[in-house]
Amino acid sequence: MTYKNILIEQSEAILTISINRPDKLNALNKATLEELNHVILEAKNNKTIRVIIITGSGIKAFVAGADISEFANYDNLQGANLAKQGQTLVFDLIQNLTKPVIAAVNGFALGGGLELAMAAHFRVASSHAKMGLPEVSLGLIPGYGGTQRLGQIVGRGKALEMILSASMISADEALKYGLVNYVVEQADLLDFCKKLAAKIAGNSSSAIAAAITAVNANFESGKNGFDEEVKQFGACFGTPDFKEGTSAFLEKRKARFA
Ligand code: COA
């Protein structure tokens, strides 16, 4: 597939995906969501990729939301389908991906942009980034998981304040609320994320997959996270990485994971 709306670059085990519609502040149109779905599925099946970074092209925006021009004339059914398809194709796919996804928030992350960042496993922001869910100012609500994930990350009160006021918060405020893990200078953002990614990539990928599955279970209805942890913990004992990791420790050498 030739990508028109995203750029991809692989360096060792790290795949960087840049949403590339800078003249539209990287707004997520249907074509971009389809490309994201495609590249993420490819990355999922590519053993040489161990960590994914998602960012936006240019210095102004990560993603300024879903592309408003595409849905301005939608009716109720089309609106519901837009949310359902987007959630399935991209946002849930990212959250449930068992390879870590880091959002490098390089500017405005609004609406679907913040929802994309929140679907990632964690977020790093540049110091000038601004984040918010402005949908109620458009007569809408967040539809790509924002009403659920924001509360899970920052707590219900702050999530409701942000959603109901439609206001943006600064990177430093986002750090204070735990919405992002770090704030760094724009020029350092990708290097910082790549260093974090490289540290993660050196660990056991099967254990990382098990950890993501166990942590996510806490947020899935009908699942008992503690039971999932027991299941995943047990499954680790049958993996080559467990043999290698424990042998390496006992032999006082660095583990070499496949
Ligand atoms: N959907 C479609 N187009 C968008 C967009 C979106 N979510 N966000 C920005 N754009 C487009 C603008 O229409 C403009 O296109 P044009 O040059 O063809 O007119 C271009 O990106 C630049 O945006 P502009 O508004 O001129 O930049 P700004 O610096 O004045 O303002 C923002 C930046 C982010 C504050 C402003 O673009 C904005 O509020 N965007 C919408 C945010 C939003 O509501 N997102 C949730 C959508 S559900």
Please report, for the domain that includes residue 71, its CATH number.
3.90.226.10
Q: What is the DSSP letter of 11?
A: E
Distance between CA atoms of residues 182 and 203, nearest Å: 21
Residue of 12, 115, 185, 220 marked catalytic: 115
Segment 116-141, tens digit of pLDDT: 999 999 999 999 999 999 999 999 99
Is 127 a domain residue?
Answer: yes
Domain hosting 31: range is 6-201
Average confidence (pLDDT) over 169-186: 98
Residue of 135, 185, 244, 251 marked catalytic: 135
Mean pLDDT (the chain, rounded): 98
Provide Rg for the chain, Cα atoms. Answer: 19
- 3-state SS of 69-80 is HHHCCCCHHHHH
Residue 140 CA: which ligand 1 atom is closest?
48
Give the SS3 label for residue 180: coil
Residue 133 CA: which ligand 1 atom is closest?
46
Q: Is the CB of 190 under 6 A from ligand 1?
A: no
Average confidence (pLDDT) over 2-29: 97
Ligand 1 atom 7: residue of nearest CA: 65
Average confidence (pLDDT) over 238-251: 98
Which band of pLDDT confidence, cut at 50, 70 and 90, is reported for residue 185? very high
Average confidence (pLDDT) over 93-114: 98
Q: Is the CB of 68 under 6 A from ligand 1?
A: yes
Give yes or no: residues 61 and 150 share one domain.
yes
pLDDT for 125: 98
Give yes or no: residues 144 and 246 share one domain.
no
Q: Is the CB of 122 under 6 A from ligand 1?
A: no
Average confidence (pLDDT) over 83-103: 98
Average confidence (pLDDT) over 62-80: 98
Segment 219-243, tens digit of pLDDT: 998 999 999 999 999 999 999 999 9
Cα angle 28, 152, 165 (rounded to 5 degrees) comes to 65
Q: Please name which of 167, 193, 171, 169 lies closest in space to residue 9, comparing C-alpha atoms.
A: 193
Q: Is the CB of 104 under 6 A from ligand 1?
A: no
CA of 133 relative to ligand 1 center, distance in Å: 13
Cα angle 122, 125, 130 (rounded to 5 degrees) comes to 115
Largest CA distance in the chain: 65
Segment 149-165, tens digit of pLDDT: 999 999 999 999 999 99
Q: Please name which of 219, 189, 218, 200 lies closest in space to residue 100, comparing C-alpha atoms.
A: 200
Q: Please name which of 97, 96, 66, 95 lies closest in space to residue 83, comparing C-alpha atoms.
A: 66
pLDDT for 1: 83
Give yes or no: residues 241 and 195 share one domain.
no
Give yes or no: residues 67 and 147 share one domain.
yes
Give yes or no: residues 48 and 145 share one domain.
yes
Sheet of strand 14-19: strand arrangement: 6-11, 14-19, 51-56, 101-105, 122-126, 182-184
Give yes or no: residues 109 and 226 share one domain.
no
Average confidence (pLDDT) over 244-251: 98
Chain-centroid distance of CA 85 in Å reads 17
Q: What is the pTM of this model?
A: 0.98
Q: Is the CB of 64 under 6 A from ligand 1?
A: yes
Is 11 a domain residue?
Answer: yes
